[in-house]
Structure 1
Amino acid sequence: MAYIGQAVKRKEDYRFLTGRGTYTDDLALPGMVHAAFVRSPYAHARIRAIRVEEALKAPGVLAVLTGADLEAEGVRPMPVGWLLPTLKIPPRPVVAKEEVNHVGEVVAVVVAETRAQAEDAALLVEVDYEPLPAVVDMRKALAPGAPEVHPTAPGNVAFTWEIGDEKAVEEAFKKAAHVVRLELKNQRLIANAIEPRASLADYNPGTGEYTLYTTSQNPHVHRLMHAAFILGIPEHKLRVVAPDVGGGFGSKIFPYPEEAALLVAARRLGRPVKWTARRSESFVSDAQGRDHETEAELALDAEGRVLGLRVRTLANMGAYLSLFAPAVPTYLYGTLLSGQYRIPAIHAHVTGVFTNTIPVDAYRGAGRPEACYLIECLMDLAAAELGMDPAEIRRKNFTPKDAFPYP
């Protein structure tokens, strides 16, 4: 009880403030080599051919791996960890083999003795692209005749999902004295942690065991997904170590294709393989956040008490479904729309949309901030249209103490 209400000194600050932290990029293992990734400059294109001969001749180069190489190694597509009844799940390869669907998608991995040699050799990999029509705007993606990101997701619809009592909401709007309407955009955000993503993969051929040092907010998720779902190995054969992590805010919770590629490279070469993203590389490879377009209506009585809420949201999923992506605009968003207010009737309908953009996933609250932003904007708008003080309309609609536990 002595700790309740008291300031507690943080134990880790001294090493950070004195430059003695240990981040993934600080690690060096005996025999370690370096990887660089060749990425698509196109939002959508067919891969006609990949020529690696010149890259293999470059100084220090040990290997160049393509999508065909990883497929031959038995590497599976990236997993989706949250399923919905109508969800379409197009395969997301660790390294693209036949087609790229967003700028920055990996098409080859170059491994060399030094980072500079790997990055120089990556420039020598020749990829013959056939550009295809691309769509990056959600509403345009849903329009008839729009280019399809995946043939397995007709009309670019990743899923449709709803929650609440639609009939009760309709009744609430029928008896409302006031209705306020709002269209808003919760813009796409690029994750930009102090420390870019980095990974160091090691493999022990004697025991068949892997070790992955990586910038992870949840090493247990990384171990489960990479072992059981991507590499197809027992979990106890993969150890995931998260050293000091310089920020993440959600973007470092889930597995990424680069980590799986490094694990395969380490196994093939029998040497530890490290990669640290350049800042510009992170902008086209790290999962991004938000990207909602919403139409919302709030029904109120003559005194400013909320009777019902109706929400229709388009959620941009990007080109593929990242691990937790389907949960963010559905169960982590729709269930929070009541916010801190007692709203008798709510109905929300969400459409997930595929576009030729970088995939989105959990970022900085993941769905909850989008819901809070929506309801608070509606409360401000209602106060303005009804001529009420914004604080007063909130007090009038707060969930009272005697209503808890409040579903």
Structure 2
Amino acid sequence: MYSGKSIARLEDTRFLTGKGRYVADLLPADALHAVVLRSPHAHADLGAINTEMARAMPGIVGIFTSADLAADNLAPLPCTAVLASVSPMIVPPRPVLASNRVRHLGEAVALVIATSAAAARDAAEAIEVSYDALPAMIDGASALAADAAQIWPEAPGNEAFRFLKGDRAATDAAFAQADHIISADLFNNRVHAAPIEPRAALAQFDGRRFELIFTGMGVHGIRRQLATVFRLPEEAFHLVCPDVGGGFGAKNFLFPEYVLALWAARKLGRVISWQAEPSEEFAAAVHGRDLRAKARLALDKAGRFLALEISS
């Protein structure tokens, strides 16, 4: 029995002596390097993408946009938080590369593949993109304002769903007879996990099966989602998570860059390496929290809880 006993950690010596094996440590010498061009706007109509100058730069193997993905019939990224108890829940399609409009700062617009990461970054900076900036919001409260810009046409008022749980009549009755009512407006700030190791991926395709080595927190859910995007059986994907330099929940998702790396590996017949820059993570990885709530607590004379009401 281990209850109450200290358990010796087995991995510390390996990490403390620099013998951890992260995605960047597994890079083959002949791998191609991927860089993603991102939108500098949080909300904008996307116009022409001129890649002529970038394609002529040294070391460039390919530059791709949403039209290239559409030609291969890739599906949008699936939503993993569809609530069965909520009806209707609006789930707009999330593209791997933006098409016609960008909807968040850092959204992927184009993919550059080159013989070195430096060459790919230089070419990405040479791509000319036409944007028509639209009004943007920086938090959920402003997005729900009556005059807020519409982000998705499928979601009027920028509302994905409404969720009600509990007994409305009983709650109202409890507050009506309460001796004391405590109210609070709460704000849980938006956070970014900021792990030491940014997201990274190594992708290859052997003509039959994909292999993805990535900075993940599990493989089974990601494999199911990849199967959906590529419209292939799950058995077509082999996923590996080596040592991970921090995750804190932020690496538990399928990101567009993983799809892009796999797609490019199949397209070009080469191993593709993608490694995010630390600054890139703040715009392109997931955020958490940003929760605003109004809460009321009903109590009797003895301080016993009668009802709790939360609107968030």
- TM-score range normalised by the length of the shorter chain: over 0.9
Q: What amino acid sits opposite 1:220 in the alignment?
A: H
Question: Partner of 1:54 in structure 2?
Answer: 53
Q: Distance in 2 between matches of 1:181 and 1:85?
A: 30
Q: What amino acid sits opposite 2:212 in the alignment?
A: L
Question: Partner of 2:220 in structure 1?
Answer: 220
Question: Partner of 1:143 in structure 2?
Answer: 145
Could you tell me the percent identity over the aligned residues?
44
Q: CA deviation at 1:293?
A: 0.9
Superposition pairs of residues 310-389 of structure 1, within 5 angstroms: 310-313=309-312
Q: CA deviation at 1:97?
A: 1.5
Please say if residues 191 and 286 of structure 1, whose CA atoms lie closer than 8 Å, have aligned partners that are also in contact.
no
Q: What amino acid sits opposite 1:200 in the alignment?
A: L
Superposition pairs of residues 95-134 of structure 1, within 5 angstroms: 95-134=97-136
Question: TM-score, normalised to structure 2's length?
Answer: 0.96
Instruction: Identify unmatched segments of 5+ residues in structure 1.
Output: 314-407
Question: Partner of 1:39 in structure 2?
Answer: 38
Superposition pairs of residues 389-400 of structure 1, within 5 angstroms: none
Question: Partner of 2:157 in structure 1?
Answer: 155
Q: CA deviation at 1:138?
A: 2.7
Q: What amino acid sits opposite 1:101 in the alignment?
A: R
Question: Partner of 1:302 in structure 2?
Answer: 301
After superposition, what is the alpha-carbon deviation per residue over 1:280-306, rounded to whole angstroms, capped at 9, x for unaligned? 000001110001111100001111111
* SS of equivalent to 1:284: helix
Q: Distance in 1 between matches of 2:150 and 2:138?
A: 11
* SS of equivalent to 1:163: coil
After superposition, what is the alpha-carbon deviation per residue over 1:149-205, rounded to whole angstroms, capped at 9, x for unaligned? 111111111111011111211111112110000001111111201111111111112
Question: Partner of 1:18 in structure 2?
Answer: 17
Q: Match for 1:194 among 193, 196, 203? A: 196
Please say if residues 34 and 114 of structure 1, whose CA atoms lie closer than 8 Å, have aligned partners that are also in contact.
yes
Q: Distance in 2 between matches of 1:137 and 1:168?
A: 33
Q: CA deviation at 1:86?
A: 2.3
Please say if residues 178 and 300 of structure 2, whose CA atoms lie closer than 8 Å, have aligned partners that are also in contact.
yes
Q: What amino acid sits opposite 2:22 in the alignment?
A: Y
* SS of equivalent to 2:162: strand
Q: CA deviation at 1:56?
A: 1.1
Q: CA deviation at 1:30?
A: 5.3
Q: Distance in 2 between matches of 1:231 and 1:97?
A: 18
Please say if residues 191 and 283 of structure 1, whose CA atoms lie closer than 8 Å, have aligned partners that are also in contact.
no
Q: Distance in 2 between matches of 1:114 and 1:8?
A: 44
Q: Distance in 2 between matches of 1:121 and 1:140?
A: 36
Please say if residues 139 and 290 of structure 2, whose CA atoms lie closer than 8 Å, have aligned partners that are also in contact.
no
- Structure 1 segments of 4+ aligned residues over 6 angstroms from their partners: none
Q: Distance in 2 between matches of 1:72 and 1:132?
A: 28
Q: What amino acid sits opposite 1:218 in the alignment?
A: G
Q: Distance in 2 between matches of 1:75 and 1:64?
A: 17
Please say if residues 212 and 240 of structure 1, whose CA atoms lie closer than 8 Å, have aligned partners that are also in contact.
yes
After superposition, what is the alpha-carbon deviation per residue over 1:310-336, rounded to whole angstroms, capped at 9, x for unaligned? 0000xxxxxxxxxxxxxxxxxxxxxxx
Question: TM-score, normalised to structure 1's length?
Answer: 0.74
Question: Partner of 1:352 in structure 2?
Answer: none
Q: Distance in 2 between matches of 1:86 and 1:161?
A: 10
Question: Partner of 1:390 in structure 2?
Answer: none
Question: Partner of 1:4 in structure 2?
Answer: 3
After superposition, what is the alpha-carbon deviation per residue over 1:29-50, rounded to whole angstroms, capped at 9, x for unaligned? 3521110010000111111111
Question: Partner of 1:236 in structure 2?
Answer: 235
Q: CA deviation at 1:123?
A: 0.5
The count of aligned residue pairs is 309
Across the aligned residues of Structure 1 and Structure 2, the Cα RMSD in angstroms comes to 1.1
Q: Which has the higher contact order (CA 8 A, sep 6+)?
A: 2
Verify: 1:181 aligned to 2:183, yes or no: yes
Q: Distance in 1 between matches of 2:255 and 2:9?
A: 31
Q: Distance in 1 between matches of 2:237 and 2:101?
A: 30
Q: Distance in 2 between matches of 1:290 and 1:86?
A: 23
Q: CA deviation at 1:144?
A: 2.1
Q: Distance in 2 between matches of 1:201 and 1:76?
A: 19
Instruction: Identify unmatched segments of 5+ residues in structure 2.
Output: none
Q: What amino acid sits opposite 1:290 in the alignment?
A: R
Q: What amino acid sits opposite 2:280 in the alignment?
A: E
Question: Partner of 1:364 in structure 2?
Answer: none
